[in-house]
Amino acid sequence: MQAITRLVTHGRKELAKVIVGQSELIDGTLIALLCGGHALIEGVPGLGKTLSVKVLARALNVTFQRVQCTSDLMPADLLGTNILNLQTGTFSLHRGPMFTDLLLVDEVNRMPPRTQASLLESMEERQVTIDGTRHSLSPLFTVLATQNPVEFEGTYPLPEAQLDRFLLKIKIGYPSATEELEILQKHNSQLPVSTDALEITPIDQETLQQAQGELRDLRLEPSLLGYISEIARRTRNWPSVSLGASPRAAISLMLVAKALAALADRDYVIPDDVKAAVLPAMRHRIVLRPEAELEGLDTDRVLTDVLAAVEVPK
């Protein structure tokens, strides 16, 4: 647990230099990196989503690339392309932003479906195929994608297969009155706007890989595995759900529960960790029936009801 504790303490400390509040965002991105998964961050503009990811990359000493999504973004803009060298008559690969440790995909629902599909292989297998040749990505390759929940014009909703690739979906809201006042005070004292001007202390590169290894060794009782399985299976038969959680969703629920235990400085998982993991790990993986949406239900409410109906192991 030493590497996990060191990583989480360092990440929270460095992000707190810049980000006020937003504990769900900070802990959610750390969970995604600990689990070796990807995160979808949903919130209105101006809440610090992009800034948080930039600072996190510097704090964890990993390579970072950013893609600003538009409706004319092509797969080659992400993957790269083979370019002909006229002097030698050979092709050489010009690597796209996908070849990095931490990839920020800003406003992911603005990229067209064809480009969205180019993310599927990289997110699942950490490799890309360019002109029939497979290229391996970094073993730490992580996608942190952002989307705005209120704009629908010029957007392309992510299909279920794409959403299922994300380990968790983080929803963030406006800061409290106290936090907003602190933000104003920081900017009034001329906080540097550029992330390059911020004094962020990087951690050694091996810490993240060691922390990922420690997470796998966390203790999870067989009764909790049954609890996780029952939650996933119950969503598939729930009256207001047309598409329930997949086995991949159950695996994600298990990993996020482990990460939450680690963030609480425990080397074992308790039922409360599983309960806390249900919404971020599953809210983007189930599809409600049209009549349920007409009644004003959303996935968070339905998952809360499902959780209440499953017996907690003792």
Where on the phi/psi map is residue 269: left (φ > 0), alpha (ψ -120 to 50), or beta?
beta
For residue 88, pLDDT beyond 80: no
Say what the pLDDT of residue 207 is.
Answer: 84
Structural domains of the chain ordered from first start: 2-178 (3.40.50.300), 215-309 (1.10.8.80)
Using one digit for the tens of pLDDT, what is the confidence trace for 301-313?
A: 999 999 998 888 8
- For residue 151, the model assigns a pLDDT of 62
Query: What pLDDT, in 10s, does the model give residues 233-286?
Result: 999 988 888 888 889 999 999 999 999 998 988 888 999 999 999 999 998 888
pLDDT value at position 124?
83
Q: What pTM was estimated for this model as a whole?
A: 0.85
pLDDT in the model for residue 196: 64
Cβ atoms of 207 and 11 closer than 8 Å: no
What is the distance between the alpha carbons of residues 258 and 208, in angstroms, rounded to a whole number? 16
Lowest-confidence pick of 102-111, 136-145, 277-286, 290-299? 290-299
- Strand ranges, E, within the chain: 39-42, 64-68, 80-85, 90-95, 102-106, 127-130, 133-136, 142-147, 168-171, 241-243, 287-288
